[in-house]
């Protein structure tokens, strides 16, 4: 009996990829992101302080740009600027609103600490971050 239970559990351990950041969101495609942010540059200086964020809209960075947010203790969160609960359209680029990102299509506000908005089906599309001195790398 123990052999059968073990055989049933093996696919779960083999099939799990803990380092994967994917999206099951039907509104947002998966784009490759690899961005380095130098905190010594004036445009990104605010990221040195907790509860501050920037929106980076450089061409080729995310779907509609990327929010980078300092959550405190040298930890950064990064999210795509595309509204996660809307099909891509003219109004589906979010704007920075303090510690939130706001979608102009439906006026929903998403926390930049968690990527969540109350009552919404999908969270913001998250990207990985790593800090090396004054450089923040945002990638997926």
pLDDT over threshold 90, residue 68: yes
pLDDT over threshold 70, residue 83: yes
95 occurs within a structural domain: yes
Which residues touch 38 (CB under 8 Å, ≥6 apart)?
44, 134, 135
pLDDT over threshold 50, residue 17: no
Among candidate residues 86, 88, 46, 42, the one with its CA nearest the CA of residue 67: 46
pLDDT over threshold 70, residue 8: no
Query: What is the span of the domain harbouring residue 65?
Result: 23-139
Domain total in the chain: 1
pLDDT over threshold 80, residue 104: yes
Among candidate residues 133, 113, 110, the one with its CA nearest the CA of residue 37: 133
Confidence band for 23, pLDDT divided at 50, 70 and 90: low
Could you tell me the CA-to-CA distances from 51 to 23, 46, 65 in Å, in that order? Answer: 25, 9, 19
44 occurs within a structural domain: yes
- pTM of this structure: 0.83
132 occurs within a structural domain: yes
136, 39 contact by CB (below 8 A): yes
Q: Please tell me the predicted confidence (pLDDT) of residue 50.
A: 97
Q: Please tell me the predicted confidence (pLDDT) of residue 11.
A: 45
C-alpha 34/C-alpha 49 separation (Å) is: 23
Which residues touch 79 (CB under 8 Å, ≥6 apart)?
66, 67, 69, 101, 110, 112, 115, 124, 125, 126, 127
69 occurs within a structural domain: yes
Q: Please tell me the predicted confidence (pLDDT) of residue 6.
A: 41
pLDDT over threshold 90, residue 21: no
| Digit-coded pLDDT (tens) for 37-59 | 999 999 999 999 999 999 999 98
Q: Where are the beta strands (DSSP E) in 73-134?
A: 75-80, 95-97, 100-102, 109-111, 126-132
29 occurs within a structural domain: yes
CATH number for the domain that contains residue 83: 2.102.10.10
81 occurs within a structural domain: yes
């Amino acid at each position: 009996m123990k052999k059968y239970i073990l055989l049933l559990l093996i696919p779960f351990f083999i099939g799990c990829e803990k380092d994967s950041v994917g999206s099951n969101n039907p509104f947002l495609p998966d784009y490759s992101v690899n961005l380095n942010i130098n905190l010594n540059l004036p445009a990104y200086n605010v990221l040195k302080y907790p509860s501050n964020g920037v929106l980076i809209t450089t061409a080729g960075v995310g779907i509609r740009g990327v929010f980078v947010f300092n959550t405190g203790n040298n930890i950064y969160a990064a999210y795509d600027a595309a509204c996660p609960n809307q099909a891509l359209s003219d109004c589906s680029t979010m704007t920075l609103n303090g510690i939130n990102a706001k979608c102009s299509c439906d006026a929903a506000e998403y926390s930049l600490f968690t990527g969540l908005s109350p009552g919404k089906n999908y969270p913001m599309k998250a990207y990985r971050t790593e800090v090396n001195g004054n450089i923040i790398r945002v990638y997926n």
